[in-house]
């Protein structure tokens, strides 16, 4: 029983999986932060462009 517990403690096979899960979560969080930061500005710019195009006289 002591041997099994020692093997479980010293086994590093799951450490790589945990690293990738944490890295993936960090990338997803960064993506959400970037979208949340730039979305209002992009929406305002799109609305300004729409307003400018609506005011263009066509012959």
pLDDT in tens, 41-58: 999 999 999 999 999 988
Q: Which whole number is the average pLDDT over 7-21?
A: 79
The conformation of residue 18, written as its DSSP 8-state character, comes to H
Question: What percent of the chain shows pLDDT beyond 70?
Answer: 100
Q: What pLDDT is stored for residue 18 in this prediction?
A: 83
What whole-number distance in Å separates Cα of residue 34 and Cα of residue 31? 5
The gap from C-alpha 27 to its chain's centroid, in whole angstroms, comes to 5
């Amino acid at each position: 029983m002591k041997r099994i517990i020692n093997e479980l403690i010293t086994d590093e096979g799951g450490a790589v999986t945990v690293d990738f899960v944490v890295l993936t979560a960090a990338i997803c969080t960064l993506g959400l932060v970037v979208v949340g930061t730039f979305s209002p500005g992009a929406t305002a710019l799109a609305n300004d462009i729409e307003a400018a195009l609506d005011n263009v006289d066509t012959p």
